[in-house]
Amino acid sequence: MTKDLYAVLGLERNASIDDIKKAYRRLSKELHPDRQKGNKETEKRFKEVNEAYEILSDAKKKESYDRFGYDARSSGFHGSPFEGFSAEGFGGLGDIFEQFFGGGKRTGSQARGEDHEVQVQISFKESAEGIEKPITFARTVSCEECGGTGGQREAQMISCEKCGGTGQVRRATPSFFGEILERVLCEGCRGSGRVPNRLCTHCRGEGHVRVSQEEKVHIPAGIADGQTIRIQGKGDVGFRGGSPGDLFVTVRVLNDKRFTRDGNDVRSTVHVPLITALLGGECPIDTVQDTATLKIPAGTQSHQLFRLRGKGMPVVGTSRYGDHYATVVVDIPTKLSRREQELIEEWQSLA
């Protein structure tokens, strides 16, 4: 279980620095090795008291312990225990750490806006050719009446009553091991510690309003079903100058009766007349790019597979294309003319 340094000194977590000093003086006298010679348990307790006082009597170490707990001691209690961790390539993960733990140079007065996700449907043909698709979505934007401050134009910023201007409040969470106390961002001021004394009547003190917005999304040729396009800065507005969130557009490609997709390749079925399959010839075939000509060699069998190089899907971001695979289905006529039947019977006798 995580060590509670306040409990080591017999104190509550809201103890003042004077309370900490008094508790330390009293316990260090009671547990001093000179007074408890040979008592291993007392020596252990004395070391714990000294460790607790060393951390809680130092303002920076105490603040870090209050935020992150005893297990963060490996970071030396300087700054955030996430120092040295790179959030690059993880989208807004670094912003989340900074927003809630005050890492780096950011303060609780700023918060990144929420991201949003929408879906857009396109046809198989549109996925092969690319398209600009209009979408409508809801997002928050800065309130024009108050300029995002949440207060009326003549309002003054005062200390938040909910957190006493600290930007954080204590929250008790019940658990298997008992009640866990933690510091969380104050909802009243969103971590800034200050609020306007007269709220904006248009946004009711939020600093932002929700609007319906239309945006044209460029969908590149070759995009596959389920892939997502990120549009930076089109999510919710940030709080007090924080960066806006992003909009994530998930593309849904409708099925096509003629084609199926296999990676960047396309597959389809082509029907070939019996005489063409027997003697060879050419057959038109639709691809995602155009109508191509498929050469059919003599003696082609049903379900035989042919490849048309470069006639598949565009590879996004390149000048390359996948291939088109065509499965032949030989059409057997169900009705024959008298002459056709005579010729086939003659052929049968020769065979």
pLDDT tens, residue by residue, 154-211? 888 888 888 888 888 888 777 666 677 788 878 778 777 888 888 888 888 888 899 9
Token pair in block for residue 313 = 């899907």
**Is the domain 112-146+207-254 a CATH 2.60.260.20 member?**
yes
d(CA 347, CA 290): 39
Q: What phi and psi values does residue 195 have, to the nearest 5 degrees?
A: -140, 155
User: What per-residue confidence (pLDDT) applies to 185?
Assistant: 79
Assess contact for 98 and 242: CB atoms under 8 A.
Answer: no
Match domain 260-350 to its CATH number in 3.40.50.10610, 2.60.260.20, 3.40.50.300, 2.20.25.90.
2.60.260.20
Assess contact for 272 and 330: CB atoms under 8 A.
Answer: yes
User: What per-residue confidence (pLDDT) applies to 279?
Assistant: 95
Query: What residues does CATH 2.60.260.20 cover in the chain?
Result: 112-146+207-254, 260-350
User: What per-residue confidence (pLDDT) applies to 180?
Assistant: 76
User: What 3-state class would DSSP assign to 79?
Assistant: coil
User: What per-residue confidence (pLDDT) applies to 34?
Assistant: 63
For residue 305, CA distances in Å to 37, 207, 268, 292 come to 90, 63, 10, 16
Rg (CA), the chain: 36
User: What per-residue confidence (pLDDT) applies to 99?
Assistant: 39
User: What per-residue confidence (pLDDT) applies to 81?
Assistant: 39
Model-level pTM? 0.58
What residues of the chain score a pLDDT lower than 70? 1-2, 33-38, 67-110, 175-178, 240-241
Q: Which residues contact 121 (CB under 8 A, 6 or more apart)?
A: 252, 253, 254
Helical axes 40-56 vs 59-68, angle rounded to 10°: 100
Query: What residues does CATH 1.10.287.110 cover in the chain?
Result: 5-81
- From the centroid of its chain, how far is CA 244? 15
E-state strands within 123-207:
131-142, 157-159, 168-175, 178-185, 194-196
Assess contact for 196 and 160: CB atoms under 8 A.
Answer: no
249, containing H or E segment: strand 247-253
**Is the domain 5-81 a CATH 1.10.287.110 member?**
yes
